[in-house]
């Protein structure tokens, strides 16, 4: 492109200056009103639910014993927690990579991820949805379903 501009008779420094001036013509008010697309270039999701995309991805990757826990009214950190298992370190890592990539591709932005190097327990914090992917032994040790599930004593007392 720079070569084309120089051939048209403009000098390289002047052509670059003119080109840079045309990049951003929005006023600050227009910029505030304009919606920004995700950095990945994907369009923002319209009909798809983050939770549904994650659950579909877990099913596709053959995740085992998937449990969805509704956290509404229990905590403000998320609305839904999904707990699932992979058969091995490699399976846990592959499930996590696939979920992260699927959510990015669908336009849900960047997630915070913990535990990916060791793949014993990978936590994907996607905002309103927390996804825990465990190896079976680690899942049994931490037993998050019991901690956050409906059988908690304070839940039974308020019901």
Tell whether the model's pLDDT for residue 13 goes beyond 90.
Answer: no
CA 58 to chain centre: 14
- Our separate counts of H helices and E strands in the chain read 8, 5
Write the pLDDT tens digit of every residue in 98-136: 999 999 998 888 889 999 999 999 999 998 899 999 999
Reading the block at residue 53, the tokens are 């995309």
Average pLDDT over residues 6-25: 46
Task: Note the pLDDT of residue 30.
Answer: 58
**For residue 137, how many other CB atoms are within 10 A of its CB?**
9
Write the pLDDT tens digit of every residue in 42-67: 454 544 688 999 999 999 999 999 99
**Which phi and psi angles does 116 have, rounded to 5°?**
-65, -35
Write the pLDDT tens digit of every residue in 57-96: 999 999 999 999 988 888 888 889 999 999 999 999 999 9
The residues, ordered by sequence, that sit 6+ positions from 100 with a Cβ below 8 Å of its Cβ are: 111, 113, 124
Tell whether the model's pLDDT for residue 5 goes beyond 80.
Answer: no
Reading the block at residue 91, the tokens are 């399976």
Task: Note the pLDDT of residue 138.
Answer: 93
Cα gap 152→84, rounded to integer Å: 20
List the alpha helices (DSSP H) in 22-130: 28-33, 50-60, 89-105
Residue percentage of the chain with pLDDT more than 90: 42
pTM: 0.66
| CATH of region 50-158, choose from 3.40.640.10, 3.40.50.1100, 3.40.50.720, 3.30.460.10 | 3.30.460.10
Chain-wide mean pLDDT for the chain? 75
Domain ranges of the chain: 2-33, 50-158
């Amino acid at each position: 492109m720079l070569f084309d501009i120089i051939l048209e008779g403009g000098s390289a420094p002047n052509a670059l200056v003119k080109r840079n001036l045309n990049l951003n013509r929005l006023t600050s008010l227009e910029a505030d009103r304009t919606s920004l697309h995700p950095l990945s270039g994907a369009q923002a999701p319209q009909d798809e639910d983050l939770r549904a995309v994650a659950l579909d991805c877990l099913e596709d990757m053959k995740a085992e014993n998937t449990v969805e826990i509704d956290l509404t009214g229990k905590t403000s950190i998320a609305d839904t927690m999904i707990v699932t298992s992979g058969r091995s370190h490699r399976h846990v890592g592959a499930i996590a990579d696939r979920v992260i990539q699927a959510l990015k591709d669908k336009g849900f932005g960047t997630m915070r991820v913990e535990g990916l190097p060791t793949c014993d327990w990978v936590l994907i914090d996607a905002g309103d949805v927390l996804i825990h992917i465990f190896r079976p032994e680690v899942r049994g040790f931490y037993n998050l379903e019991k901690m956050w599930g409906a059988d908690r004593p304070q839940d039974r007392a308020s019901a």
